[in-house]
A and B are shown apart, each in its own frame.
Chain A
Amino acid sequence: MRMQTSLPASLPNSLPAGFEALEPFVDYWAGATNDIRWDRRARASMAEIRSFYEAAVPRADEGLAYLEQFPLAAMPDDATRLLRLLLSLPHAAMAVEFHGQPRAAASPFPHGMHIGRGPWPQGW
C-alpha cells in the first residue's frame, strides 16, 4: 500500500469553510505523517504548543464531526489537511496534559526512534 503523504502546499482557505481561524497553524501542525507530527511537537516551544492547543481544542469536536461525512481513506484535500491538523492535537496533548513541558523530562532528544507506520487505514 502506497502512503499518501503529499498534498499541495497550503493555500489561503486550505481548510474547509468554517475553520479559517485555524489556518495559521496548518503549515507547521498539519504534518503528513505520525512521525512528522511527533517530531514537530518535540521541536516546538511550550508557548507554540499551547497556542496551537488552545486554538484547536475548542474546535476539535466540531472538526471531527465535519470529517465524519467522508470515508477515512478518501477525503478531499482540505478535509485531509484538517484531519492532519486535528491529529496533531494528541501530540500537543502529550506536552500540555502529561508533561507540562514539550518533552518528557526523562527522554532524550534528538533520538533515533521513529514511527515507521502510523495507524490504519492510511498508515500515516
Chain B
Amino acid sequence: MSVVDLPKPNTEFPKLTVPNGLGTGPIPIAPYISQAWYEQERDRVFGRAWLCMGRVEQLPEADSFMVKEIEICGVIALITRDAKDQIRAFHNVCSHRANLVVHETSGKGSRFVCKYHNWAYRNTGDCIGVPDRANFFDLDMKKCGLTPIACETWEGWIFINLQKQPEVTLTEFLGNFGEAFRDAPAPAATQAFTVDVTSMRANWKVTIDAFCESYHVPVLHPSTLGDTFANDSNRYARPLSGNVRGAHRTMTTFGNPNYLPPESSLIERLAYSNIDTGNTLGANDAADMQALQNHPAINPNKVPNWATEICWLFPNFLIFYSPGGFFTLEFWPLSVNTTRWVARMHTPVAADVRQRFQQEHYSCRMAEIFLEDVGNLERQQKAMESGGKSEIILQDGEFLLRHSIETIQKWVASATVREALAE
C-alpha cells in the first residue's frame, strides 16, 4: 500500500449544499409514503425521464437481447442488438392479441416467436410471420411490428424513454453530466457479479438515498466498512467534493488511507496479500484503477484519500467509480413502499486462484454491507409511515438526497420536461 499524505482536518471539508444552489430547510416525508405522490412520480418522473438500462456490454454480441421491466409504469422493454450492432427497444408485446413475446430475461436470437399463435418478429421489430394469414382481414404486416420505445446510447450506457415522442434528446437530458463524464472508463464492463433484491419493503427513494450519503457508514456498517470510510481525521465520513450537474449529481467520498486488515483478520489478510490493488475494498487491477483516477470528473479535486465518485443519474441509477473499480446500482419502484434493486459489480475475470479468492471476499463483503442497508431501510420505511414525523432533516453531507428530492419535486410540478430541466 502506498504512503499517502495525512488527510486534511475536518474544518477544511468543502460545503456542498448552499454552493450548489440548494435549500437548507426540512424535507417533507409525504413523497416517501404517499400513494398520490407515487402516482405523480410514475407519470411525471419515470414516464418522462430517460431511464438507464445498463451497459451495451450486457448485449455482448450481434443478436443479443435483454428484457427489462419498468414495473412502476407497467412496461416490459425488450432491448435488442441487431446484426449491424444497432440497439433498439420495444414493448415486449405481441401485435396479435398482446401476449408477452419473449419470456427469457436475456439471450441470443435474431427473431422472436410469440408462443401463443406463433407470430414472428425480427430483432429490428418487423413482423415476419403470421400463421394462416389469409384468414385475417386486410392484415397489413408492415403495421404489425413490435411497438418501439425510444432508445439511445451514451458512452456505452443504454437509455430508454417511455414518452411516445420524447420531449428532449438524451444529450439534453444528460446536460453537463454528460459533458463532464464523456470518455469515463468502464473497466471490466463485460462481466459482473450481481446482487439482486427482488423486493424489499421501502420506498425507492428511501432505498437509493442510503447509497448516496456516507454519514451513516461508521454507524450502520461498523465492522464491514467502518474503518475504511472514516478515521480520526474524518470521524463522520464527510464528503470531499460534490456537484449538482443538471438533473444529475455527483459526490466524492472519503476513504481511510491507513486502513489495513487487523492482525486477527486472517482471511481478509490472505485475500488481499497478493493483489496489486493497493485497496482492500476493491477487486480491480492497478491499470484500470489508474485510468479511473486520471479522468477529470472522477474525484475532480484530485484529493488523495478518496473512496468513491458517486454518480447519481436522475432518477434511479447510480454509477460508483472507485480506486477499487466500478459498479452500478439501479432501483425500481414496485409500489409506494416496495422496491426491487440490482447491483452489478464489475471485476476483472480472475487471472488466478488467489485473485478469485480475493473476489469472493470482496463479493461477500459487499453483499453483507448491502444486507445491513436492507434491514435498516425496512425499519426506516415503517417508522416514516407511522406518522411520528412529517419532515426529515438533512445535513450538508446529505446534499445528494436534497438535490434528488428537489429535482423530483420540480419534475412533478413541471408541465413539460424542458421546464423541469430549466436551471
Contact = CB atoms under 8 A, between A and B. Distances in A.
A105 to B, nearest CB: 9
> Quick one: which of B199, B220, B364 has the most chain A CB within 10 A?
B364
Contacts of B386: none
Contacts of A100: 223
Interface residues of A, number: 43
Given A104-B368, A117-B192, A117-B194, A87 B357 contact: yes
A100 B364 CA distance: 16
Contact of A119 (B220, B224, B347, B371): B347
B356 A104 contact: no
A64 B262 CA distance: 22
Contact of A113 (B224, B261, B266, B371): B371
Contacts of B264: 97
B69 interface: no
B372 to A, nearest CB: 5
Given A97-B267, A115-B193, A121-B349, A34 B363 contact: yes
A18 interface: no
Given A60-B267, A93-B265, A107-B374, A98 B224 contact: yes
A113 B169 CA distance: 35
Interface in B268-315: 268, 270-271, 283
> Quick one: which of B271, B348, B368, B372 has the most chain A CB within 10 A?
B368
B361 A93 contact: yes
Contacts of B371: 104, 107-108, 111, 113
Interface in B372-390: 372, 374-376, 378
Nearest to A67: B353
Contacts of A112: 197-200
Nearest to B198: A112
B223 A104 contact: yes
Given A61-B270, A91-B364, A118-B363, A106 B220 contact: yes
Interface in A56-106: 57, 60-61, 64, 67-68, 70, 72, 83, 86-87, 89-94, 96-100, 104, 106
Interface residues of B, number: 50
B270 A60 contact: yes
Interface in B174-198: 191-198
A83 B359 CA distance: 13
Contact of A106 (B266, B271, B361, B375): B375
B194 A115 contact: yes
B265 A34 contact: no
B193 to A, nearest CB: 5
Contact of B266 (A38, A97, A114, A117): A97
A119 B283 CA distance: 10
A12 interface: no
A90 B360 CA distance: 7
B12 interface: no
B191 A116 contact: no
B196 A113 contact: yes
Interface in B231-266: 261-262, 264-266
B372 A104 contact: yes
A87 B363 CA distance: 11
Interface of A: 34, 37-38, 53, 57, 60-61, 64, 67-68, 70, 72, 83, 86-87, 89-94, 96-100, 104, 106-108, 111-123
Interface of B: 191-200, 220, 223-224, 261-262, 264-268, 270-271, 283, 342, 347-354, 356-357, 359-365, 367-368, 370-372, 374-376, 378
22 contacts: A37-B360, A53-B267, A57-B266, A57-B267, A83-B353, A89-B267, A90-B360, A94-B224, A94-B365, A97-B262, A97-B266, A108-B374, A111-B375, A113-B371, A114-B195, A116-B195, A118-B193, A119-B356, A119-B359, A119-B360, A120-B193, A120-B348
